[in-house]
Structure 1
Amino acid sequence: MATRWGICGAGKISNDFTVAMKTLPPGNHKIVAVAARILQHAEEFARKHDIPKAYGSYAELAQDPDIDIIYLGILHTQHLRAGLLFLNAKRNVLCEKPFAMNSGEVKQLINAARENNVFLMEGIWSRCFPVHIEVCRLLSENTVGEVKMVKAYFGSPQLHIPRSVERELGGGALLDIGVYCLQFALMVYRGERPQSVHATGVLLETGVDESMVVVLKFSRNRMAICGFSIAVAMPNDATICGTKGTIRVPSPMWCPTHLVVNGQESQYPLPEPSMPLHFTNSTGLRYEAEEARQCLLKGLKESSRMSLGESSLLTEIMDEARRQVGVVFPQDEDSQ
């Protein structure tokens, strides 16, 4: 039986998620409804993607009995409110990254999921890509020995995009793209809590971070260096340095199709989209959709690819990095 999806939000990422779903077997996945705050937007989205039902409110989507799981594809400033709406309606949720604005909000979402006994996953799609799954396998087999250093960089000129620079829209490099670098380090070190977090960065006039460098120190003298910026382009790759060799994830490290292990390169091509996409390699969103489906089929309430505990830790690290650099959002005061 197909997993029946409801799409919350009719924006760019929801478009790409829907296009990516078309690359999966129709017998496994089916989008049955879409909701937007403006009914016309939902109806236009539904016509474009041949979705049977369109709603002009998230509440209507939450009450649709024909839905197995909700894809939350709206701006992260709204993740808490919409997420709680769906979770308290006992709906399974795949929430686009970043999970929420801070640790307080993430805890509320996780608590709601557990209280209502439903599935919840942060959509760090990188974790579900074949390249990252292969990286985890190589590390578990000690292919490059003990990892001593991880480096991850992501820079993309986005100063012209309002959601990237406005404080009220949850802007800044950290929450938008830095999250990919930090989650990569946590993936390599298997969700271990770092012993220390040191962050430095520069702010825009709006009060959000333009560029940031975060250094994480783990036990046994292991480290990670993460650099990211919305002002300039960067290598956008990641390197794992071990005592017996290196693993490199070339650009784009957050949605990779190549892997280099001790100088030997392997390719992991993505399926071609049937419709235009807004973001790089977006057909790779299919992997997190399939991961969510497999979890539901197994009766799991969270994914081992990106556990709720690791999502919580990731947000705590981002909170601390923001504190050190001086980025404060209105939601920080609300959650105290």
Structure 2
Amino acid sequence: MATKWGICTAGKISHDFTVALRTLPPEDHQVVAVAARDLDRAQEFAKTHNIPRAYGSYEELANDPEIDVVYVGTIHPRHLPVCQLFMNARKNVLCEKPFAMNAGEVKKLSASARQNDVFLMEAVWSRFFPASREISRALSQGELGEVKVVRAEFGYHLLHVPRAVEKELGGGALLDIGVYCLQFVLMVFCGEKPLSIQASGFCLDTGVDEAMEITLTFSGNRMAVCICSIAVQLPNEAVITGTKGTIRIPEHMWCPTSLVVNGKVTEYPVPPATLPLNFLNSTGLRYEAEEVRQCLLKGLKESSRMSLADSVLLAEVMDEARRQVGVVYSQDRQ
């Protein structure tokens, strides 16, 4: 029986996610409804993607009895209330990163999922790519020896994008793209809490971070360095260095399609898209969608590859980094 999806918002990322779902077998994944705050936009989206039902409110989507799971692609500050709306309606939820604006909100989401007995996962798509799974396998089997240093960077020209620079829209380099670097480090170190967090950076006039550098130290004399920027294009690579070898993601570390393991290159191409995409490698969103399906089939309430505890730790690290750089959102004062 197919997993029936509802799509919350008719924006760019929701478009790409829906296109990605079409690369999976239709007997496994079906999109049955879409909702936007503007009914015309929802209807246009439904026409583009051949979706049976379009709603002009999120409440209507929450009340649709046919939906198994809702994909939430709203702007960052809306994640908490929108996810709570769906979970209170006993809907399973896959929510775009960052899960919420701070760790306190992430904990509220986790509590709501438990209270309503529903599945909930932060859509950190990076963790579900075949390349990322290969990294986890290699590390678990000790192919790199003891990992001592991890470096990850992500920089892109986004100063012209209001969503990336406006505080009320949840902008800032860390929440928008730096989250990928930090989640990568925490994945490599298996969700271990860092011993120390040291962050420095620069803020825009809007009060959000333009760029940030974060150094994390872990037990056993291990460390990681993350750099993110919404002002400049960086090489966007990640490197894991151990006592016996190295793994490198040579480009677009947030959606990896190639790995260099001890000098050997392996490619992991994503499927072609049936419609034009807004973001690089977006058909790779299929991997997190399939993870959700597998979890639901097994009766799980969270994924072991991106657990709710993983999301809380990720948010806590980001909170501390933002505190040191001086980035404060209105949600932090609540």
TM class by shorter chain equals: over 0.9
CA distance in 1: counterparts of 2:22 and 2:53, whole angstroms? 17
2:145 matched to 1:151? no
CA distance in 2: counterparts of 1:145 and 1:167, whole angstroms? 42
Question: Match of 1:244?
Answer: 244
2:297 matched to 1:314? no
TM-score, scaled relative to structure 2 = 1.00
CA distance in 2: counterparts of 1:301 and 1:41, whole angstroms? 32
SS in 1 for 2:251: coil
Question: Match of 2:259?
Answer: 259
CA distance in 1: counterparts of 2:323 and 2:100, whole angstroms? 16
2:11 matched to 1:8? no
Alignment of 1:217-296 (within 5 A): 217-296=217-296
CA distance in 2: counterparts of 1:225 and 1:266, whole angstroms? 25
Question: Match of 2:117?
Answer: 117
1:76 deviates by: 1.1
Question: Match of 2:186?
Answer: 186
RMSD of aligned C-alpha atoms? 0.4
- Which amino acid in the other structure matches residue 28 of structure 2? N
1:42 deviates by: 0.4
- Which amino acid in the other structure matches residue 232 of structure 2? V
Question: Match of 2:24?
Answer: 24
SS in 1 for 2:316: helix
- Which amino acid in the other structure matches residue 150 of structure 2? V
The superposition leaves residues 33-62 of structure 1 with CA deviations (integer Å, 9 ceiling, x where unpaired) of 000001111000000100000000000100
Question: Match of 2:60?
Answer: 60
CA distance in 2: counterparts of 1:110 and 1:39, whole angstroms? 30
Alignment of 1:18-167 (within 5 A): 18-167=18-167
1:103 deviates by: 0.8
CA distance in 1: counterparts of 2:193 and 2:103, whole angstroms? 15
The superposition leaves residues 308-327 of structure 1 with CA deviations (integer Å, 9 ceiling, x where unpaired) of 00100000000000000000
1:104 deviates by: 1.0
CA distance in 1: counterparts of 2:76 and 2:32, whole angstroms? 23
Alignment of 1:201-216 (within 5 A): 201-216=201-216
In structure 1, the gaps of 5 or more residues are: none
CA distance in 2: counterparts of 1:105 and 1:245, whole angstroms? 39
- Which amino acid in the other structure matches residue 42 of structure 1? A
Q: Which runs of 4+ in 1 moved over 3 A?
A: none
2:330 matched to 1:330? yes
1:150 deviates by: 0.1
CA distance in 1: counterparts of 2:169 and 2:76, whole angstroms? 8
CA distance in 1: counterparts of 2:250 and 2:110, whole angstroms? 33
- Which amino acid in the other structure matches residue 159 of structure 1? L
CA distance in 2: counterparts of 1:24 and 1:158, whole angstroms? 31
CA distance in 2: counterparts of 1:312 and 1:82, whole angstroms? 18
The superposition leaves residues 69-114 of structure 1 with CA deviations (integer Å, 9 ceiling, x where unpaired) of 0000111110011011001111100001000000111111100000
- Which amino acid in the other structure matches residue 250 of structure 2? P
Question: Match of 1:173?
Answer: 173
CA distance in 1: counterparts of 2:304 and 2:3, whole angstroms? 19
In structure 2, the gaps of 5 or more residues are: none
- Which amino acid in the other structure matches residue 179 of structure 1? V
1:277 deviates by: 0.2
CA distance in 1: counterparts of 2:217 and 2:235, whole angstroms? 23
SS in 1 for 2:211: strand
SS in 2 for 1:260: strand
The superposition leaves residues 232-261 of structure 1 with CA deviations (integer Å, 9 ceiling, x where unpaired) of 010101000000010001211100110000
CA distance in 1: counterparts of 2:36 and 2:43, whole angstroms? 9
CA distance in 1: counterparts of 2:306 and 2:23, whole angstroms? 23
CA distance in 2: counterparts of 1:125 and 1:207, whole angstroms? 28
SS in 2 for 1:322: helix
1:167 deviates by: 0.6
Identity of aligned residues (%): 66
CA distance in 1: counterparts of 2:269 and 2:319, whole angstroms? 35
1:139 deviates by: 0.1
CA distance in 1: counterparts of 2:270 and 2:318, whole angstroms? 30
CA distance in 2: counterparts of 1:76 and 1:163, whole angstroms? 9
CA distance in 2: counterparts of 1:275 and 1:329, whole angstroms? 36
SS in 2 for 1:223: strand
